[in-house]
Amino acid sequence: MLRQPKIEYKTPRQILSMREAGLVLSRGLDAAVSAARVGISTRELNAVFEEVLREAGATSNFLGYHGFPASICTSVNEEVVHGIPGDYVLRDGDIISIDGGAIVNGWHADSARTTIVGTPREEDVRLSQVTEEAMWRGIAALAGAKHVGDIGAAIDDYVSELPGQRLGILEDYVGHGIGTRMHQEPDVLNYRSSHRGPKVRPGLCLAIEPMLVLGGLETKVLDDDWTVVTTDGKRASQWEHTVAVHDGGIWVLSAEDGGASKLEPLGVVPVPVRA
């Protein structure tokens, strides 16, 4: 028999603690994205993010994670995920995915955004917009999902049915459960699969994070043992939010408005948790 994942289901009060972490994280990403301009280094973006967490009394769940040396991942151009902040100075036309996490009172949140520096390339704008919308389609699907696999099916259907240049959905890197640890069961696939995954029930909290590329799906890890790049050098985008399922519906914990502005056009009204 297939092993059933051991899932940590949260109480409403615990979800509210995760919401605190999500709001701090949202402010940190706001600051880092606003600072991402021509001439700033990715190390400086990391410092901007860290200052927001420090002022809020939160800590990073990235820093020190299996030895990771920073509080955010900064993945530029062909870097897909897990890019390490450093001396690289952003240039006009760069596309950068900033992925961060926060811990408040032992509870975690995880979120990522893509932004374009300076003068954007049309294909990069589309890449980021489609990746973001794919994430929201997956989140919207969670509202009525029977199984976790319904999320990946919704993402896959949206991306594959778009007219124009076909974008690739990475399959080697997926979303995950989140709570008292950053990475928990279950895996959240970003593509349609015969494996339906565990049933969706109140208390389930997930990090939903599609990663799309302009070219092929093959990737490799650089010598720093972290940074994942496309082998063909094509550009990538990552978007992510932490989402909770509860008795009243779903709530995007790492979005300031709980996801309302993006979900309501898709027919889903996010519902805050009441303690």
Task: Could you list the residues known to form a binding site for substrate, using ranges.
Answer: 82, 183
Distance between the two ends of the chain, CA-based, in angstroms?
38
Taking each helix axis from N to C end, the angle separating 122-143 and 149-160, rounded to the nearest 10 degrees, works out to: 140
* Cα(184)–Cα(268) distance, integer angstroms: 26
- 205-208: strand order across its sheet: 184-188, 175-177, 205-208, 241-246, 249-252
SS3 252: strand
Q: CA–CA distance from 213 to each of 78, 108, 203, 210 (Å)?
A: 9, 28, 32, 10
R_g of the chain, CA atoms, integer Å:
17
Binding-site residues for a divalent metal cation, please?
99, 110, 176, 209, 240
* Cα(114)–Cα(236) distance, integer angstroms: 9
Binding-site residues, please?
82, 99, 110, 176, 183, 209, 240
* Cα(264)–Cα(275) distance, integer angstroms: 24
Residue 237, CB-side half-sphere exposure with 13 Å CA sphere = 24
Q: What tokens were used for 192? A: 């349609």
